[in-house]
Every structure is written in C-alpha cells, then in structure tokens.
C-alpha cells in the first residue's frame, strides 16, 4: 500500500486482511460468481479474525476503533484479489448499516443488534430504492401507519444489496407528517425490519451485469408490524438521517473504485509485459507505454485526492460536497482505466476468466449507486454556483 496515509498498525492490519483473502476468498471467488451468492461462512471467518465492525464500542463486543484508515486497508486488499462483490457486502454492513446504528440506535437497540456485526453473524441491508424512484428519495411510496405499540409497514423495495442474506434491514418509509409544511423532508422515518417478521418477504435474486456474487434482491413488506422498539432515530427524521450518512457511503464507493483501478493497472502491466504480438511484447509498443503512463499518472493523482478525503473524514470535516467530488472523480477514473485496460488485453480482456473482464462488469454500477454521478455533478455545481462571487 504505497501511501503516506498509513502507519505500521494499518500495514499490519492490511497484512492480516491479505492472509484472510488468500485463505478464505480467492479459492471461492469463481464458485460465488456461479452461485450468485457468497457463503455466510466467509462472514464468520472475517468476524473471527476481527475484520468486521471495528467501530462497534467495546461494551457491545467491538474494539471501538473509529480510524477509517483500517477500513481503507480492507477495501484495498479485497480489491487487489478482485473480490468486488464481497467488498460491496462488507461495505454495506460497516459503512452504511452499522454507521446508521452507531449514530441513531438507543442503548437497548445497540445491545440487541451490534454484536452480530463484529462476529459476522449479522448481515445488514439498507432499503431505500423503489421501482420508479431511482435517485429521487422524495418519491418513496413505501409507507408506515401508526398502530397500538408500533407501526404497520407496507410497500416494496428493489436493488437491495445483501437483500437475500440480510438478517436486519433498515427500511425508509413515508410516515404521516405533523403538518402540511412537514410533508416533504419530515415525512420519512427509518424502521429496522428483522428476518422472520410476519409479512416480510424476499423476492427474486436479481440478475445483474456485474457483481454477480453479491446477492441483490427485491423486498416486500406486506402489512409488517414493526414495534416502536425498532424505530431508528426520530420519527419524521428519516430524510435527515439519510443525508447525514451519504458522505461516508460515497467515500466507500470512491475507495472501491480507486483500488479496483489500481489493481486492474497492476494486472495489465503484468499482462503486457508477458503477452507478445508481431514478434515483440505488447509493452514495447509506444501506444501501450503512452496509455499506461497516462492512466497511472491520473490514478496516482486520484489516490492523493482520496487520501485527503479520508483524512478529512477522520477529522470530521468531510462535507457532502467533498464526498460527491470524491465519488465522481474516483468512479469516472475507474471506468476510464478499466476500459482502457480491457483494450490492452485485447480479446482476453473480454473473457471473465481474466480478472480485468470481471472488473469491467463490476465497475459499471459504481457511477450509478450511492447517487448517480449526474446527481454528484448537480450537488457540486449547485454548491459552487451558490458560493461563487465571480
């Protein structure tokens, strides 16, 4: 990990993740892709090695480590072996679901839910997207109505990462607003739906272009009774809670993109050195040299930008606009790098038996989820224009 971001503790942690990946991940990658699902055993193995839920406080079974650089090290090592699907599941748990729980859960809720995030026994999901809504969270129609002791939740969600395996799902639902003035941002609440609740159904496992091993599903809530003890955060505060967590979610997506680009460049450099055409190594052609020089320089520059974003996140100063910029630059660069690397591989780059081919299909979603890159541009543009004096 060639970066000034890390010290010896992070490097030691990265070495532990590397060993875990070699033992538990690499031998299973092809099978997971074929099955379109990752074994729960690898989650338990990661938990036994202390790779999950680092930020969970000690009193709830964790280590209480909030230095995000350890998460960066894990994302990097999983990208290095092409385990994008597993990395996506781990990030959903640690950067999204667990982040909501740590910020919003009561002590009683923490006691019930957090320990499983450190052991790998609990897989979480966040259910925001609905058919027809896309990035427009204000258009969510899943709703919850007040009943004695809790709520009745009805609706459906789609594109839910870990939707098949999830034990715990944070669901965004529309709830009655206190007044007409509150019918916008204050009309949403977060509910924690647990596996086995009557009326909670999982639909089909969706067939995707990439991230084949990452189970993605439709979820249905048929008049699900959710007790008040499973309301997360403030009633009516759901939209604000979502906005608070988006910087970390987008930073995680950006880092996945960055490290995928770096790994793909390493694979490509090795390939062009060995592969021969017209009597010489592909690396000896000027086009190859110029292409790689450009890709490597831009990717190293992007890495410096992301390192700064991680430092800001650790300091509590990473803004929503910073995170939007980070996701935009990293995922656009990821796509450009991997596309060019496929070209340098020629026909073999289009074969899924080569890691560059799988990286290509896995990368396409990066510019869509966590808010499309068009939304990132909108956020950045609005901020800059509103503050411009030129």
Which sequence positions are flagged as catalytic? Answer: 249
Q: How many CB atoms lie within 10 A of CB 204?
A: 11
Exposed/middle/buried for residue 279 (C-beta within 10 Å: 0-12, 13-18, 19+): exposed
Which tokens in the block code for residue 41? 């055993």
Give Cα separations from 356 to 9, 69, 244, 292, 369 (angstroms). Answer: 31, 26, 35, 15, 21
Q: Of the candidates 282, 304, 306, 286, which has an alpha carbon nearest to the alpha carbon of residue 294?
A: 286
Instruction: Kindly list the distances between the CA atom of residue 101 and the CA atoms of 74, 211, 356, in Å, as whole numbers in the listed order.
Output: 21, 26, 36
> What tokens appear for 139 in the block?
């258009």
Q: Quick check: 152 and 145 in contact, CB under 8 A? A: yes
d(CA 301, CA 382): 25
Left if phi > 0, otherwise alpha if psi is -120 to 50, otherwise beta: which for 206?
beta
In the three-class reduction of DSSP (H, G, I as helix; E, B as strand; rest coil), residue 221 is classed as strand
Packed helices 40-48 and 84-91: angle between N→C axes, nearest 10 degrees:
70
The tokens of 206 are what?
């969706």
């Amino acid at each position: 990990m060639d970066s000034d971001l890390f010290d010896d503790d992070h490097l030691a942690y990265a070495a532990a993740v590397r060993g875990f990946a070699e033992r538990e991940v690499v031998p299973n990658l092809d099978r997971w892709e074929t099955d379109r699902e990752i074994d729960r055993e690898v989650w338990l193995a990661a938990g036994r090695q202390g790779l999950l839920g680092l930020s969970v406080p000690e009193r709830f079974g964790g280590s209480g480590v909030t230095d995000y650089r350890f998460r960066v090290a894990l994302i990097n090592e999983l990208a290095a072996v092409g385990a994008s699907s597993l990395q996506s599941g781990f990030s959903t748990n640690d950067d999204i679901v667990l982040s909501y729980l740590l910020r919003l859960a009561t002590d009683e809720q923490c006691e019930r839910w957090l320990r499983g995030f450190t052991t790998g026994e609990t897989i979480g999901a966040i259910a925001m997207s609905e058919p027809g809504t896309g990035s427009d969270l204000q258009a969510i129609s899943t709703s919850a109505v007040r009943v004695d002791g809790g709520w009745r939740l009805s609706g459906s969600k789609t594109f839910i990462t870990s939707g098949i395996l999830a034990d715990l799902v944070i669901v965004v639902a529309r709830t009655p607003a206190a007044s007409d003035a509150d019918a916008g941002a204050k009309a949403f609440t977060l509910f924690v739906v647990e596996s086995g609740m009557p009326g909670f159904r999982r639909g089909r496992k969706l067939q995707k272009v990439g991230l084949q091993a990452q189970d993605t599903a439709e979820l249905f809530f048929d008049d699900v009774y959710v007790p008040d003890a499973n309301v997360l955060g403030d009633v009516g505060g759901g939209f604000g809670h979502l906005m608070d967590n988006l910087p970390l979610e987008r930073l995680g997506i950006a880092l996945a993109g960055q490290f995928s680009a770096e790994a793909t460049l390493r694979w490509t450099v090795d390939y062009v050195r060995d592969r021969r055409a017209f009597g010489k190594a592909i690396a000896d052609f000027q086009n190859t040299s110029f292409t790689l020089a450009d890709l490597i320089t831009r990717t190293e520059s992007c890495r410096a930008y992301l390192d700064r974003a991680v430092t800001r996140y650790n300091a509590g100063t990473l803004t929503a606009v910073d995170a939007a910029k980070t996701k935009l630059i990293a995922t656009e660069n990821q796509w450009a790098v991997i596309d060019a690397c496929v070209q340098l591989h020629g026909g073999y780059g289009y074969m899924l038996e080569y890691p560059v081919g799988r990286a290509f299909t896995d990368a396409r979603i990066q510019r869509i989820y966590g808010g499309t890159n068009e939304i990132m541009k909108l956020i950045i543009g609005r901020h800059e224009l509103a503050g411009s004096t030129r």
